[in-house]
C-alpha cells in the first residue's frame, strides 16, 4: 500500500470509529494529510498500527456534574477529559466551559494539543477537557459550586506528573481558583503544579495571562519579518474579545500596529481610532458585559450585531475566538482587501477552505498549533516555577516566551523547507515538526 493510501485508510478508520465528531475528523484530516513527506523519510511510522495509536486517545473520561443553582434548582452538566498522548510528558491542555462542548470538540482540541505541545519543546503531553456548562449570566457562587462538583470527579485523574489542566474558553483565573481549592481540599495536598493559569499571588506565573495573545503576535511578527515587513503602522483585526484577543490587541499596539476591530458572540466592533484597551478590559474582564457596552462608551466606535469583522479592511488578521469562525467567504474578503498575514490565536478558527484561499493568494498563514503555542508554553514555565518553588519576574518570563515563539517559528519554516521545499508552508511545517518529536518518543517507549 502506498503511503498516501495508508494515510487515507487511517483517516477512514478515524471517521468510522468516531461517528459524528466533525471537528475531530477535521483536525485529524489536516494533520494526517500533511504527513506524507514525513512518512516517506521515516517508513517506520507508516507501519500498521502506528498512526492508529496516534489517533486513539490513551484515555477518555466522561462524567456527570450535578450542582445546585442560586434558586435551589439541581442542574446537571457533562464533564470531559481526553488524555490523548503522554509520550512527551504529563497530559497538558485546557478546560473549556461552553454550551457547545461535546466529546468531538474535546477530542479535536486534545489532538491539536499533542503537536502544539511537542512544538514548544518543553516536555508536555496532550490533553483537553471541559463541560457543556455555560458560565454566562451565572453568579460567582454558581460558578464555584459547578467547579467544585467538576473537580470532585476529575481530581482522581489529575496530578502534577499525570495530568495538568489550565484554562480555555470560559475558564480563567476565577475558575482555576475554585478548581484548585477543591483539589487541595479533597487531596489534602498543596500541589501547585496540578493546574496552571493560577493567579500570580499564589503559584501563578507572570505573563501566563498575556502569553497566548502575546505569543500569537510574536509569531505573526516573525512571519511578517520574512517579507521585510512589521506591525508598525499596520491595520489589524482581532476576532473575539476574551483572554487571547485582549492580549493580542495589547501586543499589536505595543509594536506600533492599530487594532481596528474585535468581536464577541453577539457581534463585532469597529473603532478606526484603534481599540481603547483599558475600556475593552473594563467591559470584558471586569464587567463581563457584551461588546456593545464598549461602543456605548466610546464616541466613533460602531457595534454591529450582523455581518463580520472580516469585511473590515486590514493588513493582518488574528482570529482569536473559536473553531471554524473564519470561512471561505471571509478569507476571500480579507484577500480582496489586501491582507498580508493571518495567525490563528484560537484553535482551528479557519476552515480548510479558508486556509486554501490564503494559500492560493500567497498570504502568510500561521496555524494555531504553532501561533497560539505561547499559552501552553508559559503554562509549562509555570510548572517549572512551581516544581522549583520559585517565581520569575514578568520580564524574565516574557523573554522566555518570546524566545520559544521565535524557535517554534523557525522550526516550522525549516521543517517545511526540508519536507516540502516551501518554507512558507507553516501548516505542513508545524504538523511534521510536532509529529516527529512525538513519534520518536512513542517508538522508544514501545507499544503502549
Ligand atoms: P475566552 O472565553 O476568554 O474568550 C473567548 C472569546 O471568543 C469571547 O470573546 C467569546 O465571545 C468568543 N467566542 C467563543 N465562542 C464563540 C462562538 N461560538 N461564536 C462566537 N464567538 C465566540 O477564551 P480564550 O480567549 O481563552 O480562547 C479563545 C480561543 O483561543 C479558543 O479557540 C481557545 O481554544 C484558544 N486558545 C486559548 C488559550 C488560552 O491560553 N486561553 C491558549 C491557546 C488557544 P462571548 O464572550 O460572547 O462568548
Ligand atoms: O489551547 C491551549 O493551548 C490552551 N487552552 C492552553 C493550555 C494550557 O495548558 O495552558
Which tens digits make up the pLDDT trace of 425-442? 999 999 999 999 999 999
CB of 244 within 6 A of ligand 1: the answer is: yes
Of all helices (H) and strands (E), which one includes residue 105?
helix 103-120
The predicted pLDDT at position 307 comes to 96
pLDDT level of residue 288 (50, 70, 90 thresholds)? very high
Distant-in-sequence, close-in-space partners of 356: CB < 8 Å, separation ≥ 6: 328
Burial of residue 288 (CB within 10 Å: 0-12, 13-18, 19+) is exposed
Q: Which of 371, 380, 370 is nearest to 90 (CA)?
A: 380
Q: 136: how many CB neighbours lie within 10 A of its CB?
A: 12
375 lines ligand 1 (CB under 6 A): yes
For the cut 90, the answer to whether the pLDDT of residue 258 exceeds it is yes
Cell 442542574 belongs to residue: 75
Q: Is the CB of 196 under 6 A from ligand 2?
A: yes
Question: 210-371: same fold as 58-192?
Answer: yes
Ligand 2 atom with least separation from CA of 96? 5
Residue 403: pLDDT over 90: yes
Domain ranges of the chain: 58-192, 210-371
DSSP 124-187: -EEEEEEES---TT--HHHHHHHHHHHHHHHGGG-BTTTEEEE-BTTB-HHHHHHHHHHHHHHH
Q: In whole angstroms, what is the distance from residue 19 CA to residue 104 CA?
A: 9
Provide the pLDDT confidence category of residue 1 given band limits of 50, 70 and 90. confident
Cα-to-centroid distance, 326 and ligand 1 (Å): 14
> What average pLDDT score do residues 267-292 get?
96
Give me the CATH topology for the region 58-192.
Rossmann fold (3.40.50)
Average pLDDT over residues 80-109: 98
Q: Which CATH superfamily is domain 210-371 in?
A: NAD(P)-binding Rossmann-like Domain (3.40.50.720)
Active site members: 128
Phi-psi region of 229 (alpha: psi -120 to 50; beta: other; left: phi over 0): beta
Amino acid at each position: 500500500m502506498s503511503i498516501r493510501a495508508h494515510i487515507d485508510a487511517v483517516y477512514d478508520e478515524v471517521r468510522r470509529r468516531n461517528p459524528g465528531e466533525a471537528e475531530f475528523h477535521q483536525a485529524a484530516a489536516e494533520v494526517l494529510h500533511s504527513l506524507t513527506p514525513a512518512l516517506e523519510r521515516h517508513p517506520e511510522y507508516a507501519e500498521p498500527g502506528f498512526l492508529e495509536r496516534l489517533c486513539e486517545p490513551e484515555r477518555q473520561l466522561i462524567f456527570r456534574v450535578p450542582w445546585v443553582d442560586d434558586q435551589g434548582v439541581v442542574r446537571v452538566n457533562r464533564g470531559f477529559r481526553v488524555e490523548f498522548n503522554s509520550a512527551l510528558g504529563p497530559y497538558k491542555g485546557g478546560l473549556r466551559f461552553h454550551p457547545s462542548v461535546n466529546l468531538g470538540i474535546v477530542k479535536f482540541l486534545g489532538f491539536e494539543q499533542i503537536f502544539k505541545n511537542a512544538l514548544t519543546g518543553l516536555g508536555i503531553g496532550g490533553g483537553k477537557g471541559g463541560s457543556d456548562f455555560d458560565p454566562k449570566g451565572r453568579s460567582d457562587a454558581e460558578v464555584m459550586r459547578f467547579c467544585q462538583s467538576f473537580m470532585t470527579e476529575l481530581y482522581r485523574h489529575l496530578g502534577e506528573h499525570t495530568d495538568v489542566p489550565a484554562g480555555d474558553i470560559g475558564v480563567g483565573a476565577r475558575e482555576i481558583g475554585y478548581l484548585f481549592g477543591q483539589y487541595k481540599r479533597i487531596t489534602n495536598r498543596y500541589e501547585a503544579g496540578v493546574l496552571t493559569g493560577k493567579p500570580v499571588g499564589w503559584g501563578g506565573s507572570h505573563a501566563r495571562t498575556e502569553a497566548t495573545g502575546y505569543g500569537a503576535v510574536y509569531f505573526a511578527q516573525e512571519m511578517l519579518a520574512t517579507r521585510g515587513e512589521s506591525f508598525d503602522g499596520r491595520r489589524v483585526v482581532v476576532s473575539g474579545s476574551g483572554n487571547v484577543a485582549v492580549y493580542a490587541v495589547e501586543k499589536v499596539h505595543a509594536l506600533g500596529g492599530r487594532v481596528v476591530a474585535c468581536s464577541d458572540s453577539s457581534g463585532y466592533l469597529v473603532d478606526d481610532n484603534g481599540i481603547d484597551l483599558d475600556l475593552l478590559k473594563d467591559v470584558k474582564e471586569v464587567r463581563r458585559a457584551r461588546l456593545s457596552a464598549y461602543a456605548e462608551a466610546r464616541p466613533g466606535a460602531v457595534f454591529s450585531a450582523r455581518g463580520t469583522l472580516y469585511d473590515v479592511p486590514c493588513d493582518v488578521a488574528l482570529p482569536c475566538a473559536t473553531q471554524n469562525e473564519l470561512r471561505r467567504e471571509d478569507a476571500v474578503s480579507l484577500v480582496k482587501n489586501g491582507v498580508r498575514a493571518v495567525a490563528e490565536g484560537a484553535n482551528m478558527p479557519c476552515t480548510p477552505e479558508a486556509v486554501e484561499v490564503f494559500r492560493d493568494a500567497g498570504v502568510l498563514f500561521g496555524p494555531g498549533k504553532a501561533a497560539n503555542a505561547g499559552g501552553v508554553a508559559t503554562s509549562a514555565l509555570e510548572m517549572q516555577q512551581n516544581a522549583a518553588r520559585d517565581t520569575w519576574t514578568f520580564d524574565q518570563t516574557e523573554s522566555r516566551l518570546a524566545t520559544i515563539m521565535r524557535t517554534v517559528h523557525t522550526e516550522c519554516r525549516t521543517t517545511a523547507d526540508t519536507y516540502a521545499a516551501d518554507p512558507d508552508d507553516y501548516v505542513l511545517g508545524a504538523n511534521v515538526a510536532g509529529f516527529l518529536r512525538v513519534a520518536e518518543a512513542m517508538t522508544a517507549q514501545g507499544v503502549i
